[in-house]
Amino acid sequence: MKISPPIFTVAKKEFTDAIRNSLFGTLAFALLFLVAVSVLVASFAFKAQVAQYNSALAQLSPAELQSIALTPPAYYPLQMLRGTVEYLEIIGAVMALALGYLAIAKEKGNNTSRLLLIRPLSGRALVGGKLLGATGIFAALIFGIGLFAVLAVTGIGHVPFTAAELIKLALGLAYTFLYLLFFFCFAAALALALPSLPRALMLAFALWLVFVLIIPQVGDTMDPDNQVPGGFFASMHMTQDGQAAVINQFKKYENFRNALEVSSVEKHYERLVFATLGIKAIYNDKPLGFIMRDKWGDLLVLLAFFGAGLALVFRRPSRILAASP
Amino acid sequence: MSARLSPVSAIVRNELRALTRERTFTMLLGIFLAMTFFSVYIGWSTRTTTNAIYRASVAYLGTQGATHVPPNPLSGVSPLLIFDNMLIYILLVGALLAIVIGHRSFIRERKAGVLPLIFARPVSRPQYILAKLCGICLALAAIIGATYIVSALAAVFLPALRLTAAEFFRLLDFYAVSLLYLCFFAFVGLLFSVVAGSESTTLFLPILVWVAAVFILPELTLGSNPVALLNPVTLASAAPDQGQFFTVMRAGLGWLSVGQFYTQSGLNALGAADGGAAALPALFIYNGAVAWAAAAALRRHAGTGALTL
């Protein structure tokens, strides 16, 4: 009989536990549903945009048509994934937190952690096995979401993905994988470190709220250009140069606003993925080298958060698990 | 000797005492007051800076020889909008905290296994639920009341902000709508702590309801992306007509969108948007429906089953 190393046994159990867990099933289903909804909504919004363009075109006389240079709305499949990315950064993070918390809570809460540690299995191997299991879960989930998104976008928009777009999508999903694993490690580390499990869960959610929703929201609402529907500077009929000249006089305020935004891992993830997928207009249709030259800083921060998550979860897990009630 | 309390009053008092003893009340009060200070400061600082940016833009346009300078886009905007971030914080943070209050309210006694003992006393299940709901409402009303006082004081002391009596009343209206919204999520938290079998599910299911109300339904009915829904200015601007699909979705699902009912009523109270008249009765109806469902669930399931993790 072939006996697998303990770390793989733990990983396999973590994977099957998650699949059998109704809570994970509900969240995964909700996420897939949201992906479908966001792609559908983006496609309908695009169709409405095309219809508006056509109706505007129909109202122009032949002479006007010759004098005005009109650009019809272009369909970029990756841009249809804006909602998907936003759901992954908000709901995906909740799911990763829930899985990270449950991975530790089920051992601490059921008093099985001390029993497990009398086996030839160190605390680090136990946590490593759980992380490996989570890696499998997230890889399967992200692959499923990616495949689902490609099918939905191609099916609804009838525009196939090019090879370059598929590579960009794969890269965007890889960043998502790192982002989700960070939240998994973070919640697991809190469940390991705090004596009270409900308090660990509440703290994990509170920090998620602050860093994923509140801080980016504050940065966004402090943007002077966001104070008026359609944009403050657009309503002032100002050019890009004019905007830059005026904003330059308010550097302190802008630096504070930017500092708030960049303190959140979510904002770095969003900037990186929006650039890679071309959701941010200036990066649309640009080669990957160009995007990476601009966005390496965000990638570095995402990697640093991921590394910090790993360091936290592997910090003396044996002592903490053995001391659990 | 003190007069004997009715069972409902006794449970309400016990609920408030438990919230205070667990420090949940103090924690919530602290969070709400911190959110108020923060949101008022952010709102005021953004407004002041944007006005300064307008003056700088006018000067810049002058140097460029512009003959027509547009009026300040913020000149006609309601001064109450410096509180609009509070709408988002209550929509997100407030609702989650309310879920915790509702959840703790029932789970505390369910975990302790004292429910059979309570029902052995002369108290019916509907009376018990009614008392729990009253306790929750009173605790939330106290928190929202304190938040209103802090907001009103901030409005009095902040430079360059003068509110009229009518505007103070509108601010009160905004917080009253917020209280209704918070009560809805607290009741949802209570309902799931009665019906769900495991402790994790009792907390996660109401969070799923919240996700649906705040993110999913607005996307389906308005076509708004999730992050755009966190900006009060985007919320206040009229959604562009996105075609037949959204019209059908609005007709079919719009009545379920509790988050939108709250943002509509809240923005209306702050003077940022028109409409929202139907939203207030809808919030009342939803609160009543969830309260009734919690009472019915308790009568059917007894809600005294053991909890798993």
Size of interface A-B (CB pairs under 8 A): 143
Q: Does any CB of chain B come closer than 8 Å to the CB of residue A47?
A: yes
Mean pLDDT confidence for B47-72: 87
The total of other beta-carbon atoms located within 10 Å of residue B125's CB is 19
Asked whether the CA dihedral B251, B253, B258, B260 is positive or negative, the reply is negative
Q: In this structure, what token pair is assigned to residue A218?
A: 């504050």
Pairwise CA distance, residues B245 & A64, whole Å: 32
| pLDDT score of A208 | 84
The one-letter amino acid code at A172 reads G
How far is B14 from chain A, CA to nearest CA, in Å?
Answer: 22
A1 belongs to a structural domain:
no
Mean pLDDT of the B18-30 span: 78
How near does any CA of chain B get to the CA of A197, in Å?
Answer: 10
User: Can you tell me the distance from the alpha carbon of A129 to that of A188, in angstroms, rounded to the nearest whole number?
Assistant: 13
Q: Sort out which chain B residues have CB atoms less than 8 A from A202's CB and list them.
A: 100
Most confident of the following: A105-119, B122-136, B173-187, B206-220: B173-187
Q: How many alpha carbons fall within 13 Å on the CB side of residue A111?
A: 1
Cα separation, B240 vs A156, in Å, equals 22
H, E, C per residue of B126-161: HHHHHHHHHHHHHHHHHHHHHHHHHHHHHHHHCCCC
| pLDDT one-digit tens code per residue, A151-208 | 877 876 677 788 999 999 999 999 999 999 999 999 999 988 887 777 788 788 888 8
Q: A106-110, A132-136, A196-200, A296-300 — which one is most confidently predicted on average?
A: A296-300
Write out chain B residues lying below 8 Å of A86, CB-based: 225-227
pLDDT in tens, B39-49: 888 888 888 89
Question: How many CB atoms lie under 10 A from the CB of residue B136?
Answer: 27
Q: Which whole-number Å values give the CA distances from B102 to A40, B137, B186, B193, in the listed order? A: 35, 10, 4, 8
Interval A213-252: pLDDT, tens:
888 888 888 888 888 777 888 888 888 888 888 888 888 8
pLDDT in tens, A178-191: 999 999 999 999 98
With an 8 Å Cβ cutoff, are A246 and B96 in contact? no
Q: Residue A239's closest chain B neighbor by CA? A: B61
Asked if the structure places residue A177 within a domain, the reply is yes
Tokens of B27: 């924690």
- What is residue B1's predicted lDDT score, i.e. its pLDDT? 44
**pLDDT tens track for B202-245:** 877 888 888 888 887 887 777 777 777 777 777 666 555 566 77
Mean per-residue pLDDT of chain A: 82
CA distance A306 to chain B (A): 23
Q: Is residue A92 part of a domain?
A: yes
Residues of A in contact with B242 (CB under 8 A): 44-45, 48
Residue B307 predicted with pLDDT over 50: no
Helix (H, G, I), strand (E, B) or coil at B66: coil
Q: What is the pLDDT of residues A244-274, one digit of tens each?
A: 888 888 888 888 888 888 888 899 999 999 9
pLDDT score, position A115: 63
CB distance A23–B204 less than 8 Å?
A: yes
- Number of Cβ within 10 Å of residue B110's Cβ equals 18
Contacts of A227 in chain B (CB under 8 A): 46-47, 50, 73-74, 233
Burial of B43 (0-12, 13-18, 19+ CB in 10 A): buried
Inter-chain touch A23–B53, beta carbons under 8 Å? no
Question: Nearest CA to B148 among B113, B109, B179?
Answer: B179
Of the candidates A90, A202, A218, which has its C-beta nearest B226's C-beta? A90
CB atoms within 10 A of CB A249: 15
Domain boundaries, position A152: 6-323
Which of A 165-184 lie inside 8 A of B, CB atoms? none
| Chain A touched by B56 (CB under 8 Å) | yes
The reply to whether residue B56 touches residue A249, judged by beta carbons under 8 angstroms, is yes
Predicted local confidence at residue A275, as pLDDT: 95
B289 pLDDT tier (thresholds 50, 70, 90):
very high
Which range in A49-58, A136-145, A192-201 is most confidently predicted, on average pLDDT?
A136-145
Under an 8 A CB cutoff, do B89 and A214 touch? yes
According to the model, what pLDDT value does residue A99 have? 87
pLDDT for position B270: 87
Inspect the interface and report whether the beta carbons of A245 and B230 lie closer than 8 Å: no
d(CA B198, CA B196) in angstroms, rounded, equals: 6
Average pLDDT over chain B reads 82
Does the pLDDT value for residue B72 go beyond 80? Answer: yes
Q: How far apart are CA B167 and CA B250, in angstroms?
A: 32
State whether residue B200 sits within 8 Å of chain A by CB.
Answer: yes
Q: How many domains does the structure of chain A reveal?
A: 1
